[in-house]
Structure 1
Amino acid sequence: MTAVTEGSGQGQGLNPVELLQQAERVSNVQEASALLSEAILCEKQVDNHLNDILSKRNTLERGLANLKDSLGLLDLMQKHAESIAGSTKQASSLAEDVSRRVRELDASQSRVSEAMRRLDCVVDAERAVEELKEALSEGEYDKAAERIQTFTQLYFAVGVKSGSAASTAGAQAESQGDQTPNGGLEGQRQGRSNKGSILSEGDESSSHVLRESAKVVKECAKNLREVVLEKFEKAAKERDHDQVKRFASILGPIGLVESGLQAFTKYLIGLISSRATSEYDNLLAEISIPKNLESERKADFNAALTGLYRDIAEAIEANTQLITEAYGQEGFVDVVLSLHQEAETRAVQILRKFVEYRQLARAIESKGEVGSSGGDNVTSFERTIDEVVMLCMRSEEYNNCIKMVLSTAAEQGVEKASSTINSLGGSPLNCVVRELNAYYTGLEDNYMERTIQMAIQMDECVDGALTSSLVEDAFFILQKCGRRGMATGNVQCVCSVLNNINNHLCNAFLSALRHDNSVYECLVGSPEEGLDLEAIDNTSNTAKAAQAVNNFDVSSEYIKKLKADLDMYTFEVFESTDSRNRVQSCLSDLLRTSQEFEKISASTIEYVALKLMPELRPSIDALSSLSFNLSDSEYAMYEAEDPWLSDFLSRMEEHLGWLRGLLTSQNYEALVHSVLGHTAKRIEALLLQKRFNQLGGLLLEKDVRNMVNYTSNMTQRTVRDKFARLTQMATLLNLESPQEVLDYWGDESMMWRLTPFEVKRALKLRVEFRAVEVDGLDLT
């Protein structure tokens, strides 16, 4: 049974082959029955599978039928494809043959076109030769040079194998037939030599079609060179500038680039040299006369140097186009450098002679004597300084002109121009100019020292002036020196002059303005009765003291104006940001000096104010004997007859009012405010010793208000800040209760000058307020 069960279990899903193998191992009926069941089940499965296959028979038959039809179409398509392939191959062979024939035709056409163009060039070249002969016979040298240039281009065009190149050259030759000869790009290409030109010996080819014409052109060019050179030299000797320019423009195109450039440069240098020599000889003749004022004025070094620089600049400007067209940019740079070298030699000669003749080193060392003849010495000295400045200015302008010309050439690719610009700073001329600038700074410092010392010695009180003459004279001198320094255009000179100006202000000038404080004591007190203030003698001690006080204030303002004036020139003179910053740094020192003068002025005014206080104190100290714990009758009496304020205000007007016309507005304002500040402090100190009731507080508030109103008329600036603490004290002493202060405390519309401690101290002065209530106020 067990075997049958296992066999039946294994029989599920067995295929026929496996069933046969199982049948061979059957040993009893049960196994056979089980195996039979398996075989029946397998048979059913096989039948079902066969039925599925048979159900697809029609579909398969239709598909096979379609395939039989397609086989015929495939054969037909194969035949068509073979036919098309044959046709395509035949067309390809035909196209290749046509393409080959087209290329042959194109090459033939190109050769024919090139031959025709070269033939045109040959014809044009022959015509150019005939026109060249005609131009030479008629003396039309410009036209002859043009025809040589045209033939040269056509000659090389005929020898070029490329048709396009020949065409281009032919077109250029035709277009230049009606133009003025300038050498063009070809002239620049030939450049500094004739290598590669038919004008050079042995350059023509023995097989060239134009070899005979080239020989004729070369011979004509040789004759033209001789004629043009001869006429150029003749024109140069006769100083016929128009003819010189005409022949100079021809030399380049006919192959004499180097010779023409040298000859024209020599001519320009000769012009400049002859004029410069004449000017220098005249200058030597003038300075050979024994020195006196008249001979010194006639020796005009500036005119000689300016004339030299002007001639160089005009020569460059007038001939720039001619040189660049005939000799190229490199030739132009060579001419400029040659002219510059001549200018340097002449300029250095003039400047050295100037330094020697004016004895600048000795002038710097000599401080000069300031006396009866000091004015003449200083005038002559200043004239020398002006001359030095003009020479430096002209040299700086010339240097900038040369730099600009070379920079333009450098932008167009001339390397020599770029290297020369970098070396200009170390040229002999610039070295001498730097030496001259050094002389100038020394001379300018010497001049400032002399003239300021003269101004100090000549200082006097001027009628109707608020300052002494020293202030106006000194700042006139310093402004002139500052502007003269700016005119040099040299940042080192400017910085040196500015530093010297600041040093003279801080030393000699400030020392001259300083006085012992006792000098100012005559301003304390009141003028004598019946004295006419407008008639005060300018030599009086009062006028001198007032002007001495004013000198510091006005000098401070003048220093600021001087700084602003020179600041404006800084932006006009210097374009470099670095140079401007250096000058601005020196100018900032002037502001610090101005602030120092302001401090001295303020301390002087403070001294006068302190000296005035003893005159006012008796009327202020009258408060110490007054009571502010008033009854109604006492309050009414104080209102009817003021016990102290009227007297105080009268004394202030008496001691300060008369100074209004003697002091500058700023000094007078400062003096009034200083006196009011000290007065307010004294009044506050006295009030803190008093006791107040509400009527006393009301009276104090009224007095403070009257004091503010009256003193406000004495000055243009507000005085309320001086009495702010007193005003707030009066407000506190006039309150109904201590708690009322909380309505004001912390109010943003009111800025308290009193601290919480001072507020409580003031409230405790009221007899009605208890100390406990005041201390309990929260004023944080």
Structure 2
Amino acid sequence: MADLDSPPKLSGVQQPSEGVGGGRCSEISAELIRSLTELQELEAVYERLCGEEKVVERELDALLEQQNTIESKMVTLHRMGPNLQLIEGDAKQLAGMITFTCNLAENVSSKVRQLDLAKNRLYQAIQRADDILDLKFCMDGVQTALRSEDYEQAAAHTHRYLCLDKSVIELSRQGKEGSMIDANLKLLQEAEQRLKAIVAEKFAIATKEGDLPQVERFFKIFPLLGLHEEGLRKFSEYLCKQVASKAEENLLMVLGTDMSDRRAAVIFADTLTLLFEGIARIVETHQPIVETYYGPGRLYTLIKYLQVECDRQVEKVVDKFIKQRDYHQQFRHVQNNLMRNSTTEKIEPRELDPILTEVTLMNARSELYLRFLKKRISSDFEVGDSMASEEVKQEHQKCLDKLLNNCLLSCTMQELIGLYVTMEEYFMRETVNKAVALDTYEKGQLTSSMVDDVFYIVKKCIGRALSSSSIDCLCAMINLATTELESDFRTSSAG
């Protein structure tokens, strides 16, 4: 008997295909039905066919329910047909307009490029004509100014000639005006060299005579001739001579000072102060001239030359200080006294007091002067480097640090302060020992005189180190004071 649940696929019988609505045709073929002979099989086939019929009916009902929607959509599609044809026509028309517009834009841009090229060539022609006229004007102006000894006007014409576009002049020399331009150039170059020689000579005469107005007059002309470095160098040499002359005068005055004078104890510090104030006054006076005529960023060059002269004068003053105050000799005695079991005669601490005070004052004035230079140069670099790259700014900062940290003034002061720390340590230790030895106690007092005296001495030594404006010196003295209080004074107090 045939398997009704999974009817066999008989050979030669076509397989069922997809039915309407996504269903399938009955899998029971007419041949299969005709081949059945049993009632039970026929009933089973019948029931199965009835089930399939119900499924088909449900699918038909679903399709019939969608009939109105489908019909309305079909009507809409039929109505859209003419509109779609119109849209197609409009799209083709729009595409044609876009193509036409693109071609028109390309033609217009081509014309614009041609106009721009013509404009540039016209500008170059006008520039060339202007440069030729400027060349002739500069030549006539320089010669007239030189004849009337109006060197500022001659320098202005020369500067204008130097600022002309050399490539345009070179092109002009290749044209019909070539011979005339060559003649003008030759005359201008000769006038330029002649003017440079005159300015250098006049400047030398003015510096020799000490005529400051004339010195400044020709100093302002150098940058117009492209001689920035030479102008700054010559002017710095003149200023350095002024600084040296005044410093030597002050030093001679110091050497002739009576020791009973009120400022005799700090006369070398005062001499350095006068030197620093003189240089600072020069910088303040001439900084506007340098910035105006030489441009920002040039003040560093002027100060660099001045600092070299400052170092020379500082060296002279410090040498005289060391000799007159026996600074190195005092240091050697102190060094020997600080050694345990030393048989060297001890120095009275009071003898060191004025020397130590003067050294700290000298260093404080030096630090103030160096801060002044740093502020001036930094502000000048800041203006000049506003559009510069980061590498240029860093290079300028390195130059500034090198100038301030490696100058002879800084090195000399560091050496003096290094010796000062040792001498201040000796002063503090010996004075504290004296305070301990002279300790007295009055009835009713909470502490003996030693406590007040010792802390007064420590305060004085640290305060003096603080007045030097040297961080290293202050830190060293604080450490030494701490050691003194924790060792010698503590031992004496405990005893």
Query: Which TM-score bucket, shorter chain as reference?
Result: 0.5 to 0.7
Q: Is the 8 A contact 2:269 2:359 kept in 1?
A: yes
Task: Give CA-to-partner distance per residue, 1:564-588, whole Å, 9 cap, x none.
Answer: 6666677665474x76555444555
Q: 1:390 to 1:121 in 2, by over 3 A?
A: farther
CA distance 1:364–1:229, change in 2 (3 Å):
closer
Is 1:265 aligned to residue 216 of structure 2?
A: no
Alignment counterpart, residue 222 of structure 2, candidates 251, 254, 264: 251
Determine helix, strand or coil for the equivalent of 1:139: coil
Distance 1:354 1:366 in 2: 17
Residue 307 of structure 2: aligned partner: 340
SS of residue paired to 1:252: helix
Please give the alpha-carbon distance, in whole angstroms, between the structure 2 residues aligned to 1:66 and 1:306.
104
**Match for residue 201 of structure 2?**
230
Say which of 82, 96, 102 aligns to 2:112. 102
Aligned partner (choices 377, 397, 401) of residue 421 of structure 1: 401
The counterpart of 1:398, out of the listed 366, 371, 391, is 366
**Which letter does structure 1 place at the counterpart of 2:436?**
L
Cα shift at 1:236: 0.9
Letter in 2 for 1:241: L
Partner residue in 2 for 1:409: 377
Paired residue for 2:12?
none
**Distance in 2, Cα, partners of 1:32 & 1:363:** 138
Structure 1 counterpart of 2:193, one-letter code = K
Whether the 8 Å CA contact 2:439–2:449 is kept in 1: the answer is: no
1:171-196 Cα offsets, whole Å, 9 max, x none, are xxxxxxxxxxxxxxxxxxxxxxxxxx
Hey, what does 2:189 align to over in structure 1? 218
SS in 2 for 1:342: helix
Q: 2:288 maps to what in 1?
A: 321
Q: What is the CA distance between 1:138 and its match in structure 2? A: 2.9
1:352 to 296, 319, 328: 319
Q: Which segments of 5 or more consecutive residues in structure 1 lack a partner in the other structure?
A: 161-197, 368-376, 442-491, 515-545, 601-780
Deviation digits for residues 510-550 of structure 1 (CA, Å, limit 9, x no counterpart): 22447xxxxxxxxxxxxxxxxxxxxxxxxxxxxxxx86997
Q: Deviations over 1:704-745 (max 9, x none)?
A: xxxxxxxxxxxxxxxxxxxxxxxxxxxxxxxxxxxxxxxxxx
Mapped to 1, the partners of 2:269 and 2:41 lie a distance apart of 148
Alpha-carbon shift at residue 243 of structure 1 (Å): 1.1
Aligned with 2:451 (options 553, 556, 570): 556
User: Equivalents in 2 of 1:110, 1:229: separation in Å?
Assistant: 42
Deviations 1:441-498 (A, max 9, x none): 5xxxxxxxxxxxxxxxxxxxxxxxxxxxxxxxxxxxxxxxxxxxxxxxxxx36xx526
Distance 1:25-1:142 versus aligned 2 partners, 3 A rule = same
TM-score, normalised with respect to structure 1: 0.46
Q: Following TM superposition, by how much is the alpha carbon of 1:68 offset from its aligned partner in structure 2, in angstroms? A: 5.7
1:56-455 mapped onto 2 (5 Å cutoff): 71-113=81-123, 115-116=125-126, 119=129, 123=133, 126-153=136-163, 155-156=164-165, 159=167, 206-207=173-174, 213-277=184-248, 305-327=272-294, 331-361=298-328, 382=351, 386=354, 389-390=357-358, 393-394=361-362, 396-398=364-366, 400-402=368-370, 404-406=372-374, 408-409=376-377, 412=381, 413=393, 415=395, 418-419=398-399, 421-422=401-402, 428-434=408-414, 436-437=416-417, 441=420
Residues 49, 396 of structure 1: CA spacing in aligned structure 2 closer, same or farther, 3 A cutoff? closer
Cα distance in 2, alignment partners of residues 314 and 22 from structure 1: 127
SS at match of 1:18: coil
Cα separation, partners in 2 of 1:568 and 1:320, compared to 1, 3 Å? same
Counterpart amino acid of residue 343 in structure 1? C
- Residues 616-695 of structure 1: matches in 2 within 5 Å? none
Letter in 1 for 2:427: N
Deviation at 1:72, TM superposition (A): 4.9
Structure 2 residue identity aligned to 1:500: F
Cα distance in 2 between the residues matched to 1:133 and 1:72:
90
Distance 1:43 1:344 in 2: 118
Q: CA deviation at 1:136?
A: 2.9
The alpha-carbon distance between structure 1 residues 396 and 144, as it changes in their structure 2 partners (threshold 3 A), is farther
- TM-score norm. by structure 2 comes to 0.67
Matched residues in 2 for 1:57 and 1:361: separation?
A: 119
Q: Is the 8 A contact 2:363 2:469 kept in 1?
A: no
Letter in 2 for 1:386: P
Give the deviation of 1:562 after TM superposition. 5.4
CA distance 1:32–1:431, change in 2 (3 Å):
closer
Give the paired residue count: 449
In 2, the alpha carbon distance for the partners of 1:262 and 1:43 equals 115
Amino acid in structure 1 at the alignment position of 2:237: K
Quote the residue 2:427 is aligned against: 500
> For residues 425 and 57 of structure 1, what CA distance do their matches in structure 2 show?
97
Task: Write out per-residue CA displacement over residues 85-107 of structure 1, whole angstroms, 9 at most, x where no aligned residue.
Answer: 33433333233323322332344
Deviation (angstroms), 1:341: 2.4
Alignment CA distance shift 1:415-1:74 (3 Å) = closer
Q: In the alignment, is the contact (CA less than 8 A) between 2:138 and 2:157 conserved in 1?
A: yes
Question: Counterpart amino acid of 1:335?
Answer: L
Q: CA deviation at 1:247?
A: 0.9
Q: Which residue of 2 aligns with 1:705?
A: none
Larger Rg, first or second structure (1 or 2): 1
Q: Structure 2 counterpart of 1:256, which letter? A: L
Match of residue 509, structure 1, among 423, 426, 435: 435
Which amino acid in structure 2 is aligned with residue 338 of structure 1?
Answer: Y
**Greater RCO, 1 or 2 (C-alpha within 8 Å, sep 6+):** 2
Which AA in structure 2 matches 1:421?
D
Q: Distance in 2 between matches of 1:102 and 1:204?
A: 27
Q: Distance in 1 between matches of 2:454 and 2:281?
A: 43
Q: Structure 1 residues 417, 218: closer, same or farther in 2, change over 3 A?
A: farther
For the residues of structure 1 that align with 2:41 and 2:417, how far apart are their CA atoms?
139
Q: CA RMSD in A?
A: 5.4
Residues 438, 450 of structure 2: 8 Å contact kept = no
Shift of 1:238: 0.6
| Preserved CA contact (<8 Å) 2:311 2:409 | yes
Distance 1:556 1:98 in 2: 99
